[in-house]
């Protein structure tokens, strides 16, 4: 049986991670950390081209996935499961932001922000 990755403090780590809504910032930092600690990482985002450098740096699997489309989310999970088995860790980091003064933001846009950021569509 293969050994599971171990953190610096001796704790056993999960073997694979799927980050939905991957990009720059928090998800990129997390992908780097998990990769350094020996985890296999899958990055899922609407624009796979934007994941190129991060995927190469972390040896991650890059997947096209719009988190508002249940079929695409299912396909991302299926791709990870086919390659490594069921992911041990899933991070949901998809978000949508509306910019502008609160008095000018349309209610539909606020609903979309909440739907994507909290409920994936």
The CATH number of the domain holding residue 81 is: 3.40.50.720
Residue 52 CB contacts under 8 Å (≥ 6 apart), including other chains: 62
Q: Is residue 51 part of a domain?
A: yes
Residue 33's pLDDT band, with cuts at 50, 70 and 90, is very high
Q: Is residue 3 part of a domain?
A: no
Q: Is residue 109 part of a domain?
A: no
Q: Is residue 25 part of a domain?
A: yes
Q: Is residue 83 part of a domain?
A: yes
- What is the domain range of residue 32? 16-96
Confidence (pLDDT) at 95: 85
> For the chain, what is the domain count?
1
Using alpha carbons only, give the angle 37, 15, 1 rounded to the nearest 5 degrees: 115
Residue 26: in which H helix or E strand, if any?
helix 26-36
Q: To which residue do tokens 């610096």 refer?
A: 8
Instruction: Supply the pTM of this predicted model.
Output: 0.80
Cα–chain center distance at 59:
14
Sheet arrangement for strand 89-92: 61-64, 40-45, 16-20, 89-92
């Amino acid at each position: 049986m293969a050994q599971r990755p171990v953190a610096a403090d001796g704790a056993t780590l999960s073997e694979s991670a799927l980050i939905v809504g991957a990009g720059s910032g928090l998800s990129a930092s997390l992908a780097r950390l998990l990769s350094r600690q020996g985890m296999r990482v899958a990055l899922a985002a609407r624009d796979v081209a934007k994941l190129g450098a991060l995927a190469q740096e972390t040896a991650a699997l890059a997947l096209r996935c719009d988190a508002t489309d249940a079929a695409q989310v299912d396909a991302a999970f299926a791709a990870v499961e086919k390659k490594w088995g069921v992911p041990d860790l899933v991070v949901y980091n998809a978000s949508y932001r509306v910019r502008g003064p609160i008095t000018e933001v349309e209610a539909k846009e606020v609903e979309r922000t909440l739907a994507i950021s909290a409920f994936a569509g």
